[in-house]
């Protein structure tokens, strides 16, 4: 796996969960992106040698790496609907985590995943509910 392959795999798993990818490199913080209900953005935040070499593998710098991604999911808040946006955000978070950790995908067969804690914020003056979490994908990097 390569860092680009890991990014593509994460995006495809979130799309498989029924979420809509935003195209802005700014993620869901871009004003037009937030208006898409259930929009997600995957922002690569780093690649580093892994501190976990894997079972029975020698500790050799550069062979096993951690790719870290910041994932954002946005929902529009409509005052007349009460807690529907936070409720839908929790539902979509569960769907995203299930899709990312599904057995038999490249993320689970060629790598190991670690999902970080979810954080929720109100954005755009309280018009949007954004859920963020970190995902670390650990894999053998293809240097060929």
Residue 37: alpha-carbon gap to chain centroid: 17
- Tell me the whole-structure pTM to 2 decimals: 0.86
Q: Please check whether residue 17 is in contact with residue 95, taking contact to mean a CB–CB distance below 8 angstroms.
A: yes
pLDDT of res. 85: 83
pLDDT of res. 60: 55
pLDDT of res. 27: 77
Q: Please provide residue 70's backbone torsions phi and psi, each rounded to the nearest 5 degrees.
A: -100, 125
Interior angle at CA 45, CA 88 and CA 94, nearest 5: 20
Instruction: Tell me the C-alpha distance between 127 and 142, whole Å.
Output: 43
What confidence tens digit (pLDDT) does each residue in 98-116 have?
A: 999 999 999 999 889 999 9
The CATH number of the structural domain formed by 3-140 is: 3.30.2000.10
Asked if the model's pLDDT at residue 37 lies above 80, the reply is no
Asked if the model's pLDDT at residue 32 lies above 60, the reply is no
Nearest to 74 by CA among 37, 26, 46, 23: 37
pLDDT of res. 58: 56
Percentage of the residues of the chain whose pLDDT score is greater than 70: 87
Band (pLDDT 50/70/90 cuts) for residue 42 is: very high
Q: Which two tokens stand for residue 24?
A: 């802005």
């Amino acid at each position: 796996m390569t860092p680009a392959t890991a990014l593509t795999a994460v995006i495809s798993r979130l799309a498989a969960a029924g979420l809509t990818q935003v195209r802005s490199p700014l993620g869901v913080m871009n004003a037009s992106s937030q208006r898409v209900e259930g929009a997600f953005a995957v922002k690569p935040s780093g690649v580093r040698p892994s501190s976990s070499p894997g079972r029975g593998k020698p500790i050799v710098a550069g062979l096993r790496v951690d790719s870290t991604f910041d994932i954002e999911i946005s929902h529009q808040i409509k005052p007349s609907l009460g807690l529907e946006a936070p409720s839908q955000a929790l539902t979509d978070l569960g769907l995203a985590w299930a899709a990312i950790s599904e057995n038999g995908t490249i993320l689970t067969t060629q790598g190991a995943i670690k999902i970080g804690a979810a954080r929720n914020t109100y954005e755009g003056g309280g018009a949007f509910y954004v859920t963020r979490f970190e995902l670390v994908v650990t894999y053998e990097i293809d240097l060929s």
